[in-house]
Structure 1
Amino acid sequence: MPQTVRGVIAREKGAEVEVVDITVPDPGPGEAVVEVQSCGVCHTDLHYREGGISDEFPFLLGHEAAGVVESVGEGVTEVAPGDFVILNWRAVCGQCRACAKGKPWYCFNTHNATQRMTIASGEGVGTELTPALGIGAFIEKTLVAAGQCTKVDPSADAAAVGLLGCGVMAGFGAAVNTGGVGRGDSVAVIGCGGVGNAAIAGARVAGATTIVAVDVDPRKFETARGFGATHTVDAGNEDVVERIRELTGGFGADVVVEAVGRPETYEQAFYARDLAGTLVLVGVPTPDKQVTLPMIEVFGRGGALKSSWYGDCLPSRDFPMLVDLYRQGRFDLDGFVSERIGLEDIEEAFAKMERGDVLRSVVVL
């Protein structure tokens, strides 16, 4: 039978979020109901609230989540009731042209649950909700496509490993999967929020020996060093490009990860890499942002200019591996958890996030 649970919605553009009763249907074919244990508060959820993603209000917010599968629908074989899972928004189809080429991390036909959760009482009762990134996990139980559930070691802390569902995976994957950071490489990361610090941590795991953290807020440098940064650059008071070159023997970094999404920082990243170096854009720009570069520089410097979407990850491959690294003490996921909060605290968590006071506030249910 359908269940009624509490969840957090954004009813209209710019309005404060609300905790409301929500109806969760029984899982249909290919679907699963997951009892959510934790969900990180990500910038993407704020973008949804502000109408920066789409205008399909009301939204059921939350997507960086971990929990336990409660029930599954017909035909589901990936997971079973009782499995501890991390939710992902890249449930690959296995049939599109990317999957057929053996590159499922680029899947062009990812899928979500077919049924919609709805408002259960009060204003707008019966209204269908649009789940953030096809997940909607600021809720006690959520309905997703079974392919969005990745089974991992149940001994791991849900609040920590759930962050692999978005920001941490995006940053780690930007360095390791997209950037191809390897042993002995030099790496610069511009922007030391959650995604940037995950890129720093990924570079350390991959064996980079010089890791330069760049930000305009010096408060962030201690945390960046904790994740593996060997040097820091205060972008508010130093020439970023020249300083990165100084720290890399005068050449520039082998890989530069831009985790801000602004034209000026992208340009810095472009010129701060070595000849034949790689620039990875993982910061999400707004639609109005544009960058202009001299074509002779694009040609003459060589290398690669890449974009990283979700860290070019394959959840079934990457989530279990990263959870294992976490349990071995080689990847500090706990360091990303700034505070543990309740469903009622999300609006304040947005404010803390905008002020740069936290890496991640994590809702614990």
Structure 2
Amino acid sequence: MPETIRAAVCREFDKPLAIETVTLADPGPGEVKVAVKACAICHSDIIFAEGGWGGELPMVLGHEAAGVVETVGPGVTGIAPGDHAVVTLIRSCGNCHYCSGGHQVLCEEVFPLDRQSPISNRTGETVGHGLRTGAFAEKVVVEKSQVAVIPKDIAFEAASLLACGVITGFGAVTNTAQVPAGAHVAVIGCGGVGLNAVQGALAAGAKTIIAIDLSSDKLRVAERFGATLTLDPVDPGHRDALLAATDGRGVDYCFVTVGAKPAIDGASQYITRNGAVVIVGMPPSGVRGEYDPGTLAGWGQRIIGSKMGSAQVARDIPELVALYQAGRLKLDELVTGRFTLERINDAIASTKRGEALRNVVVFD
């Protein structure tokens, strides 16, 4: 039977989220209901809540979650009630043109949950299934491909980060760019995604890992995560320092993990001939980047987009869990603050002020 749950609902763009009682449908065929135990605050949720990407209101946002499987719909195998799981926004059929080519984040299938949100309010009004997840809520119903079962000895707060921040940053390096050992790498932005790009570069065996951020505090954290050099882009000599660290040529790969136009526009100054700028952070709709096409062509440079780290949920999350268990992936260190659902607006405000690597909403 459908049940009532508490959720943080976005009713007006750029306004505080409202804690409301909503109704969540039962999982249908191929779907799973998960009791959310932790959901991290991602900048994508904030951009949506501010109206940066449009969308119909009301909606429940939140997409970086972990919890306990409660029920499964017909046809679901490999996932059982009681399992601990990471819940992602990546919904894939496994059979379409993109899935068959290994690009599950680009799946073109239209699922029943895409046609009809499982969330409604007391009057029967449909409430949007934000980012295909709606995890700023006590429970979620998602497609089975969005769920990855994890060991029960991993804290939910740490596990929730695997759903987006970790796979996006780490995967941009290891999946999208496939950075080879010995490469020179720069990461612009040292928030949750950027630090995981630093971790990805370390795991890939990069020779030089240069972290670039306006915040001296975040640069110090980046050093603990594996950065070999940290730079403030305001420093007029920072590019010279980058060149000195890369034999005068520049980096092979520059990962832009923030959706800020100055960062996107400035990334090309750091790369070598035949180097690549990898766009990981997503700006609000309408932001346009600028580049010199003559230099891009003449030097054989590349601009690469990376969506969700080109992740394959069933492959990547178990591999990341194994790295974490082996002490080779930092997760606990990324959790800055823990907030109840009632304090979600405080968690969002703290994130917007740049105070947090990842703030996490926790549920009893």
Q: Note whether the superposition's TM-score is higher than 0.5.
A: yes
Shift in Å, 1:109: 2.9
* Structure 1 residues 112 and 311: alpha-carbon distance in aligned structure 2, compared to 1, 3 A threshold: farther
Aligned-residue sequence identity (percent) comes to 39
Range 17-26 or range 308-317, more displaced? 17-26
* 1:19 aligned counterpart, secondary structure: strand
Residue 54 of structure 1: how far off its partner (Å): 2.4
Who is 1:86 aligned against? 86
Question: Bigger shift: 226-235 or 108-117?
Answer: 108-117
Residues 344 and 230 of structure 1, relative CA distance in 2, 3 Å threshold: same
Contact 1:179 1:279 in 2 (8 A): no
Give the structure 1 partner of residue 145 of structure 2: 147
Tell me the SS of whatever aligns to 1:129: strand
CA distance in 2, matches of 1:350, 1:101: 37
TM-score norm. by structure 1 comes to 0.94
Letter in 1 for 2:268: F
Aligned 1:1-365 pairs, distance under 5 A? 1-109=1-109, 111=111, 113=113, 115-121=116-122, 125-365=123-363
Task: Tell me the TM-score normalized by structure 2.
Answer: 0.94
Aligned-partner Cα distance in 1 for 2:256–2:85? 30
Report how far residue 221 of structure 1 moved: 1.1
Q: Which amino acid aligns with 1:27?
A: P
SS at match of 1:338: strand
Q: How big is each residue's C-alpha offset from its partner over 1:44-81, in whole Å with a ceiling of 9 and x where there is no partner?
A: 11122212222311111211001111111111124221
Q: Aligned with 2:126: secondary structure?
A: coil
In the alignment, the residues of structure 2 paired with residue 292 and residue 52 of structure 1 have an alpha-carbon distance, to the nearest angstrom, of 20
8 A Cα contact 2:105 2:307, kept in partner: no
Query: Which whole-Å CA distance do the structure 2 matches of 1:112 and 1:310 have between them?
Result: 22
* Structure 1 contact 119–128 (Cα < 8 Å) conserved: yes
1:130-169: CA deviations, max 9, x gaps? 1221101111111111221111222211111211111221
For each residue in 1:272-291, what CA deviation from the matched residue of structure 2 results, as whole angstroms up to 9, or x when unmatched?
11211221001112222223
CA deviations on 1:205-239 (whole Å, 9 max, x unpaired) are 11112110101122211111111111111112234
Counterpart of 2:314 in structure 1: which amino acid?
S
**Structure 1 unaligned runs (5+)?**
none
- What amino acid does structure 1 have at the position aligned with 2:208? T
What runs of 5+ residues in structure 2 fail to find an aligned partner? none
Q: Secondary structure at the match of 1:340?
A: strand
Greater mean alpha carbon deviation, residues 339-348 or residues 269-278: 269-278
Q: Distance in 1 between matches of 2:223 and 2:111?
A: 38
Instruction: Give the match's secondary structure for 2:68.
Output: strand
Distance 1:40 1:102 in 2: 27
C-alpha distance after superposition, 1:304-352 (max 9, x if no partner): 2101000111111101110111111100011110011100111111111
Matched pairs, number: 362
Distance in 2 between residues matched to 1:217 and 1:71, nearest whole Å = 44
- Distance change >3 Å, CA 325–CA 111, structure 1 → 2: farther
- Matches of 1:239 and 1:160 in 2, distance apart? 37
- Structure 2: how far apart are the matches of 1:239 and 1:27? 56
Distance 1:103 1:215 in 2: 30
1:34–1:142: 8 Å Cα contact kept in structure 2? yes
Structure 1 residue 115, shift from structure 2 partner: 4.7
Q: What is the distance in 1 between the residues matched to 2:262 and 2:285?
A: 15
**One-letter code aligned to 1:175:** V
Residue identity matched to 2:16: E
Letter in 2 for 1:79: I
SS at match of 1:168: helix
CA contact 1:34–1:69 (8 Å) conserved in 2 = yes
How far is 1:104 from its partner?
Answer: 3.4
